[in-house]
Amino acid sequence: MTRVVDVVVIGGGQSGLAAGYHLRRLGLECAVLDARPAPGGAWRQTWDSLRLFSPAAFSSLPGRLMPPQPGETYPDAAHVVTYLTDYEQRYELPVHRPVRVAGVHRADELLRVDTDSGVWLARAVISATGTWSSPFVPAVPGRAAFRGTQLHTVGYTSPRDVSGRKVIVVGGGNSGAQIAADLAYDTDLTWVTPREPRYLADDIDGRALFDHATARRRALDEGRTDTGGVASLGDIVAVPSVRDARDAGLLRAQPMFDRITPGGIARADGTTAEADVIIWCTGFRPALSHLAPLGLRGPRGRIPTSGTRALGEPRLHLLGYGDWTGPASATLIGVGRPAREAAREIAGLLGVV
């Protein structure tokens, strides 16, 4: 079956919902295609103890404030799932699931979106597929010969997963710090980071990231010097669990290793550590394989953009993958603005406004 709409949005996480909200406000007919069977995007796949790094009111999509979670300053992932579920119902967003997009192709004046349940034709496409389906693990010599278990952030749930085993957590970002803090009390833990961990000052939380992103946006709009992405502030937000473990002296990072042995890790200086489990908290790459037929990919696996618009295909916008598609666009509160800009640009392209 082939269906035709103004805009297909690929991905029904927070970015896809923010896009749907703004497209509908502009009177554009859209379809949001999401591979997951239920609402919530990647928030359905996090570890149990994850807490947002901002209070609820600073974690909201356009139009509707996230309500506070009773008893928690920093909401958990389940609270975000509930909020996103309510959001798409409240705004009657046309989300179709589970629908996995296999490829986007040029088809004369339209774009053809091939899925596992039929074909969609659209005048424009917004890709909002996030990064969680594309975990990244660095190439370290010896990795394949490791006898123990290797997990990535996406596969870790709670200390129960690794109970009684020697664990190495690799990564100095928020996921590395939070998972290390999760394991710091009852697990034989080694935390390894490529460089000394950089904490955001304790008296500020994720709100500062958004203030910084706003300042950056303003600087870019006014042609002033780029103030740098949010990572320039420091990588780790000292959420309470991280702060507690760090202040208890349980979060001492060790330098990165040079190779993996069958039983652990080794450094060039001769130091070693045994491990039964290695948890790679080494980030993600944008999930863009469905756009490969368009031939747009540039350096570092990214598609060159101006704002959210793909430079090589003006009918395609990319939303939510990171600072390269708009300051703080890969956050709940930050995606609203680039979503609005993408919807407006598409409306202009289609001659709707």
Q: What residues make contact with ligand FAD under the rule CB under 6 A?
A: 10-16, 33-36, 41-43, 52-54, 59, 100-101, 128-130, 132-133, 174-175, 206, 287, 290, 320, 330-332
- Cα–Cα dist 59/43, whole Å: 13
For ligand FAD, the closer of residues 47 and 146 by Cβ is 47
Cβ neighbours of residue 62 closer than 8 Å, sequence gap 6 or more: 18, 21, 22, 336, 339, 340
In the complex with ligand FAD, the residue whose CB is nearer, 146 or 210, is 210
Nearest residue to ligand FAD, by Cβ distance, number only: 13
Smallest separation, CB 331 to ligand FAD (Å): 3
Handedness of CA 345, 341, 303, 305 (dihedral sign): positive
Compare residues 46 and 190 and give the one whose CB is closer to ligand FAD.
46
Q: Name the residue nearer to ligand FAD (CB basis): 239 or 260.
A: 239
Q: 30-33 and 95-96 as β-strands: parallel, antiparallel, unpaired?
A: parallel
Residue 340: both structure tokens together? 């609005």
Distance in Å, CB of 70 to ligand FAD, minimum: 18
Q: Are the C-beta atoms of 186 and 167 separated by less than 8 Å?
A: no
For residue 25, what is the enclosing H or E element? helix 14-25
- Nearest-approach distance from CB 36 to ligand FAD, in angstroms: 4
Listed in order, strand segments (DSSP E) in the chain are 2-10, 30-33, 95-96, 101-107, 110-115, 118-127, 149-152, 166-170, 188-193, 253-255, 259-261, 264-266, 272-274, 277-280, 305-306, 309-310, 313-318
CB of 17 to ligand FAD, least distance (A): 7
Instruction: Pick between residue 175 and residue 187 the one whose CB is nearest to ligand FAD.
Output: 175
Q: Between 206 and 327, name the residue whose CB sits nearer to ligand FAD.
A: 206
- Give the CA distances from residue 222 to residues 11, 216, 219, 324, in Å, rounded to whole numbers and listed in that order: 32, 10, 5, 18
Task: Rank residues 31 and 277 by Cβ distance to ligand FAD and give the closer one.
Answer: 31
Nearest distance in Å: CB 49, ligand FAD: 11
CB of 25 to ligand FAD, least distance (A): 19
State both tokens at 90.
Answer: 């409240």
Nearer Cβ to ligand FAD (13/20):
13
Q: Nearest distance from residue 346's CB to ligand FAD, in Å? A: 18
- For the CA atoms of 107, 109, 113, 117, the dihedral, rounded to the nearest 10 degrees, stands at -90
Q: Is the peptide bond before 138 cis (omega within 30 degrees of 0)?
A: no
Question: Min. distance of Cβ 27 from ligand FAD in angstroms?
Answer: 23
Question: 255 CB contacts (<8 Å, ≥6 apart)?
Answer: 192, 193, 267
C-alpha neighbours within 13 Å on the C-beta side of residue 18:
29
Cβ of residue 311: shortest distance to ligand FAD, in angstroms?
A: 20
Among 289, 315, 290, CA closest to 103: 290
Minimum CB distance to ligand FAD smaller for 320 or for 326 = 320
